């Protein structure tokens, strides 16, 4: 495709869904070399006229997701008048829903915008979890919705990512006897923090398997009972000092522990 060929993505929301569809189609034509220009939050006829003005200057297509009938009709009318090919990415499927399920669409652009907002909040939360994983930057503790603390191999990272997908910003802090906990940990409300504990037997099993996977000796101090008991004892003291609720993750799936964390935080904030 010539780079002068343009697809104008027009939406009464962010327009990311429409752009994704256009890119998916474009990949079927010489590797997707098409100029995509997004026009988000189109709200009135004037916004549509702005797109029509530039689209009619060259070879172009308008691909749109507009749910307000009057606005859609205006775009269709003006595109036809100017000889511009305009493709409605939503209406065929909305019609199918309406006919097959016998339901009326809301025709509210805010519904689409809400989905976009939720998507971006999830992405932001995932990026937050990565940035503040394993105590990399203690400043994240003060910004987090949830702070997880625990010794190594108590599922802090997978829990952080799971909760991030539910749009919670999570920082996690490893508790190690040789390392002083960050001051920020004692500056946050207890309602934001959850301690993760585990039985010595289960932790020994997990750490031994971890060492094997890394090709290291199973007798390394990391997996020894003496070391594990020392770490768990130290972690318990830190959690008591913070005053945070504690969950035993010994035989729990990530989903179960995450549910308990959210229940605890909801309860703490209700009565805190």
Residue numbers belonging to the annotated binding site for ADP: 150-157
- Of 54, 103, 109, 104, the closest CA to residue 82 belongs to 54
Structure-token pair, residue 22:
């256009």
Beta-bridge partners for 193 = 147
Q: Which long-range contacts (CB under 8 A, 24 or more apart) does 231-235 make?
A: 231/151, 231/152, 231/175, 231/176, 231/177, 232/151, 232/197, 232/198, 232/200, 232/203, 234/175, 234/176, 234/177, 235/149, 235/150, 235/151, 235/175, 235/195, 235/197
Q: Round to whole Å and give the CA distance between 135 and 237.
A: 18
Cα-Cα-Cα-Cα dihedral sign, residues 78, 84, 89, 92: positive
Residue identified by tokens 């409300």 is 189
Structure-token pair, residue 189:
């409300």
Binding-site residues: 150-157
Cα-Cα-Cα-Cα dihedral sign, residues 178, 221, 197, 208: positive
Q: Round to whole Å and give the CA distance between 121 and 38.
A: 20
């Amino acid at each position: 495709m010539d780079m002068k060929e343009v697809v104008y993505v027009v939406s009464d929301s962010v327009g990311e869904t429409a752009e994704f569809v256009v890119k998916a189609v474009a990949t079927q034509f010489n590797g997707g070399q098409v100029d995509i220009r997004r026009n988000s939050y189109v709200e009135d006829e004037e916004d549509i006229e702005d797109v029509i003005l530039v689209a009619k200057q060259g070879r172009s297509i308008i691909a749109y997701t507009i749910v307000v009938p009057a606005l859609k009709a205006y775009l269709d009318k003006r595109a036809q008048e100017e000889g511009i090919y305009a493709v409605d990415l939503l209406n065929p499927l909305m019609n199918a829903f309406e006919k097959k399920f016998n339901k009326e669409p809301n025709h509210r652009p805010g519904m689409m915008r809400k989905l976009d907002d939720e998507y971006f909040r999830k992405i932001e939360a995932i990026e937050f979890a990565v940035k503040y994983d394993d105590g990399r930057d203690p400043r994240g503790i003060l910004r987090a919705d949830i702070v997880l603390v625990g010794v190594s191999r108590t599922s802090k990272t997978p829990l952080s990512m799971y909760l991030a997908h539910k749009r919670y910003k999570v920082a996690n802090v490893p508790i190690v006897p040789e390392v002083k906990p960050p001051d920020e940990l004692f500056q946050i409300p207890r309602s934001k923090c959850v301690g993760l504990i585990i039985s010595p037997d289960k932790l020994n099993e997990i750490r031994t398997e971890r060492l094997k996977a890394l090709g290291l000796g199973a007798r390394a101090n990391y997996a020894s009972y003496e070391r594990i008991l020392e770490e768990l004892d130290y972690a318990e003291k830190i959690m008591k000092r913070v005053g945070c609720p504690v969950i035993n993750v010994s035989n729990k799936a990530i989903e179960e522990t995450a549910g308990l964390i959210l229940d605890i935080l909801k309860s703490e904030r209700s009565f805190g």
